[in-house]
Amino acid sequence: MNALTAVKEEHVVSIDASGVTGSIPGTKYVAQVMIDSLSK
């Protein structure tokens, strides 16, 4: 079993480093990626 998805198989969302900088643009970017990936 995949080590990461063994922890939680429901959703794993991949982002780049700007998603964890804490900035407003980084936060907006995270939101966009999450919304799009969770919609699938």
Partner 1 sequence: MKKIIGLLLSVVMLTDILAGCAGTPADNSGTSTPENSPAVTYTSSTEESTYPRTYTDSRGKEIVFETQPTKVISTDWSITESLFIMDYPPVASSLVEMMSGWESMKSYFEAYHVEELGGGMSTVNLEKMIELQPDLILTTAYTKEDVIEQYEKIAPVAVLSREAFVEREMGIREIGKIIGIEQTVNEILGKEKEQLVQYKEQLSEQLGDKTVMFLSESGKVISFYYGNVALHYDTEKGLGLHAPKSLPTEVKTENITLEGLSEYNPDVIVISSSEEYLKELEKNSV
Residues of this chain that bind partner 1 (CB under 8 A): 1-40
CB of 21 to partner 1, least distance (A): 7
Question: Which residue is it, tokens 């964890």?
Answer: 20
Cβ(13)–Cβ(24) below 8 Å:
no
Cβ(25)–Cβ(18) below 8 Å:
yes
CB of 30 to partner 1, least distance (A): 6
CB of 17 to partner 1, least distance (A): 5
